[in-house]
Amino acid sequence: MSEATPTRVVEQARDALAAFVKNAPDGTKLPPERQLAQRLGVSRTTLRDGVSRLALLGLLEVRHGDGTYVRSPTAAQLAPLLRPLVDGKGSTTIELFELKRHLEPAVAELAAMNCSEAQAANLRAAVQRDRSELAGTTQVAKRTTRRVSERRQLHELIAESAGESLLVALLSVANELLTPHLTELLSHSQRRLAVEQLSAVVEAIAAGDAEAARDATELYLSSLARAMRNGPNASAAVG
């Protein structure tokens, strides 16, 4: 049997670190570097390389002067890794939207089955906030889009209400990648229509009506698809 090459040894060490992180609960602090390197049977240099790679993937958070912690990456943390594959590529944007169309109705159903009263209140508050932002002039509405990153969007709150699952995680990443494109693509009137249609989704979720939540989501997505085909200056009648 041939001996493992140095490259293979490093890969095995990274795999061992990744397995250690995967099995540790979110928020777990990694052991000191020397101790962890000994436990995994790797050099401290190899360990640092592995930690850096997992940190880039959002699986570890390095807090200088404190330590390294395991974390569950959010869609906002994962999206930048994929954004170079999306930006400037219309075909990829269309594929992402098709993924959204397949997943979002099911996530709305899950949200209707799992949503708490507090989460329902947060969903309604988000709808009202979006209504208020779009109630002024088009210029005011455009300025408010610059603050999107400063607060949680409605689709994030719906995903939270649905609970943790691979389905929800995939949709969250797709929405994170699509949101900037949709913000640029939709006209002011189209965004207002979208908010009202999402309000119907929210009310179905709050009522615990999974079938109504799915139907309302499918209507919203159909209108959104027409708006995307028509472009940013299309008529408000996209429903």
In a domain, 120, yes or no: yes
CA distance 230 to 166: 32
What is the extent of the structural domain holding 105?
77-230
- Residue ending a domain, choose from 47, 70, 93: 70
Residues 97 and 40 in one domain: no
In a domain, 1, yes or no: no
Give me the pLDDT at residue 12, please.
Answer: 73
> Who's near 72: CB < 8 A, 6+ residues apart?
26
Give me the pLDDT at residue 100, please.
Answer: 93
CA 146 to chain centre: 18
Residues 38 and 95 in one domain: no
Residue with tokens 């219309």: 90
CA distance 186 to 38: 55
Q: What type of residue is 165?
A: S
CATH of the domain at 53: 1.10.10.10
Residues 63 and 152 in one domain: no
DSSP state string for 147-166: GGGGS--HHHHHHHHH-S-H
For all residues of the chain together, what is the average pLDDT?
80
Residues 137 and 224 in one domain: yes
Count H helices and E strands in the chain, helices first: 11, 2
Residues 163 and 111 in one domain: yes
Which regions of the chain are under pLDDT 50? Answer: 1-3, 137-150, 233-239
Give me the pLDDT at residue 72, please.
Answer: 73
Secondary structure of residue 57 in the 3-state scheme: coil
Please give the C-alpha separations between residue 149 and each of 65, 76, 146, 199, in angstroms, as whole numbers.
Answer: 28, 9, 7, 21
Residues 166 and 195 in one domain: yes
- Residue ending a domain, choose from 53, 70, 87: 70
CATH of the domain at 99: 1.20.120.530
Give how many domains the chain has, as a whole number.
Answer: 2
Residues 168 and 53 in one domain: no
CA distance 115 to 123: 10
Give me the pLDDT at residue 228, please.
Answer: 80
> Who's near 125: CB < 8 A, 6+ residues apart?
none
In a domain, 63, yes or no: yes
Residues 25 and 98 in one domain: no
Residues 125 and 150 in one domain: yes
Helices (H), 186-209: 188-207
